Amino acid sequence: MSRLFDLGNLYNGICQKKAFSFMLVACMTIGFFNCKSEQSKPNELSPSSKKVGKKQECNIRIKGVFLQTDSFELFYEINALSHFSQDNSLKRGFTGSKEEQELLFDLEGVYPEKIRIDLGSNPNQNTVEITEIMINYDQRELRIDSINFLKYFTPNEYIKYEGAQLRLIKKSIDEKEFYDPYLSPTPQLIKALIDL
Return the CATH fold of 54-195: Lipoxygenase-1 (2.60.60)
Position 122 scores a pLDDT of: 86
Position 23 scores a pLDDT of: 55
Tell me the β-bridge partners of 160: 167
pTM: 0.68
* Closest to 168 (Cα-Cα) out of 63, 97, 68, 62: 68
* 128-145 pLDDT per residue, tens: 888 999 999 888 999 998
Contact of 194 with 80, CB cutoff 8 Å:
yes
Q: Is the pLDDT of residue 179 over 90?
A: no
Contact of 118 with 63, CB cutoff 8 Å:
no
Q: Is the pLDDT of residue 57 over 70?
A: yes
Task: Return the minimum-mean-pLDDT range out of 140-144, 174-178, 183-187.
Answer: 174-178
Query: What residue ranges do the domains of the chain occupy?
Result: 1-41, 54-195
Q: Is the pLDDT of residue 159 over 50?
A: yes
Distance between terminal CA atoms of the chain? 83
For the residues 163-171, what does the mean pLDDT come to? 67
C-alpha radius of gyration, the chain, whole number: 30
